[in-house]
């Protein structure tokens, strides 16, 4: 596997300091979910981190002066090269993350799509024109409004999508001409470092980007650095909120956790429709071993069809191929490490001890947990009210749309919800009354198109991803008024 992880010779992976390979004085092992070392990465010194930030600061003007075509060409190059090297990137994701290879390949194509969308959005990044002669005092005046970067971006990425969620930070930054420093998750730095090879092939200004695997315990200075006025963080709520509290004067974008619900109403249709819904629920509760903020966790089923849907979900869960992540047929692989797997099993056991029924799954083999289905779960159990981030799905009956809306909203989180209904009026009611960032009608909450606004409310975060929306988040308006014109 090591030959697929880098084009470098044997030894610790170098990082990218101001667009150039560099090594530090220390190194850290990267292990797969089985605990075996996959590779080692070089850790930047404090002086090297300072060099990277200084380079970003110096690159502000050159980056902003890039033409839209230059930005778009760089982004399109990365998109094309990701597809050319798809198998290599997928192998890296599987090795460091444990994601089944079929889903790792999907992640690479999605990352390519993010860069491709960013290239297209960059070409349209033209601002607005406003006639001001709506009042006599403004006769002959015209306003040109453009958006300019707020400054360099500190992008902090998580382990569960080690390539695509890096792409969601890097691509919008390049599109608006903002320098960016990416800090990958300590468990999964290899995908981001490999992406650096593609960025290095472009003609982006020196110093505009860095990829630094900085240990978490050394991040406080970076977070506080005034030269990094934007922080884009994806990860857990406690860490995200601690960042926002530490730097109240900065623009902080937080993509945090979820407790995604899927609602199945009686109007969804015949037996075949319910079976399809159950199949989608089973797959997308477990497809990343549950390690996705919009994995299906709670399933709220209209009471008349509850027993039928439970039986169907259990059947489809038991048919999921679980095991070796390198097998192209595997749908459910290991969690990121054994500690995560132990925690998930502890939460299942706590729920059962409190009266829940475990209908299938819940056994642990190393870092792999067999997909679990629970019913009769108390509402104060962690598997119901917290984010499990593991292959666990909980089902409960509700009384129609009223009960479902109440149950979905009774959560600290509000990311996305899926609603299986065929009634248009019901769909619009859920859209209006659910306190979440996104409502997916006729499918699971796990759907995400990388160009749409993605984010949540309550403890699910602040701000939105999605290329055009992140571009807006990273920038602010600047106005020029022209006078004495004939309009």
What's the CA angle centered on 5, arms 326 and 206, to 5 degrees? 140
Tracing tokens 């947990």 back to the chain, one arrives at 369
The answer as to whether 280 is a domain residue is: yes
Q: Are 19 and 94 part of one and the same domain?
A: yes
Active-site residue, 255 included: yes
Predicted TM-score of the model (pTM): 0.95
The answer as to whether 441 is a domain residue is: yes
Structural domain total, the chain: 2
For the chain, what percent of residues have pLDDT higher than 90? Answer: 96
d(CA 340, CA 367): 7
In the set 107, 293, 387, 465, the catalytic residue is 293
For the chain, what percent of residues have pLDDT higher than 70? Answer: 98
Choose among 129, 81, 150, 82: nearest CA to 110: 82
Q: What is the pLDDT of residue 271?
A: 83
Q: Are 179 and 317 part of one and the same domain?
A: no
Give Cβ neighbours of residue 421 (< 8 Å, ≥ 6 apart): 263, 265, 267, 268, 401, 427, 430, 441, 442
The answer as to whether 457 is a domain residue is: no
Q: Are 266 and 187 part of one and the same domain?
A: no
d(CA 17, CA 49): 8
Q: What is the pLDDT of residue 75?
A: 98
Q: What is the pLDDT of residue 4?
A: 42
Choose among 10, 18, 6: nearest CA to 44: 18
* CATH number, domain containing residue 221: 3.40.605.10
The answer as to whether 487 is a domain residue is: no
Is the confidence at residue 7, as pLDDT, over 50?
A: no
- Print the domain residue range for 415: 261-449
* CATH number, domain containing residue 327: 3.40.309.10
Q: Are 110 and 227 part of one and the same domain?
A: yes
Tens of pLDDT, residue by residue over 206-222, are 899 999 999 999 999 99
Q: Are 228 and 251 part of one and the same domain?
A: yes
Active-site residue, 293 included: yes
Average pLDDT score over residue span 188-209: 97
Is the confidence at residue 269, as pLDDT, over 70?
A: yes
Q: Are 165 and 146 part of one and the same domain?
A: yes
Q: Are 300 and 445 part of one and the same domain?
A: yes
Give Cβ neighbours of residue 226 (< 8 Å, ≥ 6 apart): none
d(CA 262, CA 392): 13
In the set 107, 255, 459, 465, the catalytic residue is 255
């Amino acid at each position: 596997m090591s030959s697929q992880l880098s084009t470098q010779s044997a030894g610790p992976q170098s990082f990218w300091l101001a667009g150039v390979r560099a090594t530090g004085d220390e190194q850290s092992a990267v292990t797969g979910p089985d605990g075996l070392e996959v590779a080692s990465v070089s850790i930047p010194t404090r002086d090297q981190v300072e060099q990277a930030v200084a380079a970003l600061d110096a690159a502000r003007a050159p980056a902003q002066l890039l033409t839209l075509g230059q930005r778009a060409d760089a982004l399109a190059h990365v998109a094309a090269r990701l597809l050319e090297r798809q198998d290599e990137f997928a192998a890296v994701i599987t090795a460091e993350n444990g994601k089944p290879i079929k889903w790792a390949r999907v992640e690479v194509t999605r990352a390519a799509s993010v860069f491709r969308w960013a290239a297209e959005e960059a070409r349209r990044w033209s601002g607005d024109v406003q006639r001001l002669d709506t009042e006599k005092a403004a006769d002959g005046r015209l306003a040109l409004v453009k958006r300019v970067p707020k400054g360099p971006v500190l992008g902090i990425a998580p382990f569960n999508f080690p390539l695509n969620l890096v792409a969601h930070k890097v691509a919008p930054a390049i599109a608006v001409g903002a320098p960016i420093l990416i800090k990958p998750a300590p468990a999964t730095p290899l995908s981001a470092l490999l992406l650096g090879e593609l960025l290095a092939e472009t003609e982006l200004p020196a110093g505009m980007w860095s990829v630094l695997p900085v240990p978490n315990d050394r991040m406080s200075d970076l977070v506080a650095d005034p030269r990094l006025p934007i922080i884009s963080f994806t990860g857990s709520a406690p860490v995200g909120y601690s960042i926002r509290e530490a730097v109240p004067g900065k623009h902080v974008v937080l993509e945090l956790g979820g407790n995604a619900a899927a609602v199945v109403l009686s109007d969804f249709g015949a037996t075949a429709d319910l079976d399809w819904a159950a199949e989608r629920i089973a797959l997308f509760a477990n497809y990343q071993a549950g390690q996705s903020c919009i994995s299906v966790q709670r399933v709220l089923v209209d009471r008349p069809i509850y027993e039928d849907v439970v039986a169907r979900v259990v059947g489809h869960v038991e048919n999921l191929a679980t095991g070796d992540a390198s097998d192209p047929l595997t749908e459910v692989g290991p969690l990121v490490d054994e500690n995560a797997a132990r925690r998930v099993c502890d939460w299942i056991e706590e729920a059962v001890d409190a009266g829940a029924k475990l209908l299938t799954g819940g056994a642990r083999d190393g870092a792999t947990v067999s997909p679990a289905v629970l019913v009769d779960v108390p509402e104060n159990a962690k598997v119901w009210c917290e984010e499990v981030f593991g292959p666990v799905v909980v089902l409960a009956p509700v009384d129609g749309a009223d009960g479902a809306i109440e149950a979905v909203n009774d959560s600290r989180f509000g990311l996305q919800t899926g609603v299986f209904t065929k009634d248009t009026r019901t769909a619009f009611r859920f859209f209006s009354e659910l306190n979440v960032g996104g409502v997916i009608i006729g499918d699971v909450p796990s759907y995400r198109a990388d160009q749409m606004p993605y984010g949540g409310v309550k403890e699910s975060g602040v701000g939105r991803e999605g290329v055009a929306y992140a571009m807006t988040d990273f920038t602010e308006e600047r106005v020029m008024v022209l006078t004495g014109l004939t309009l």
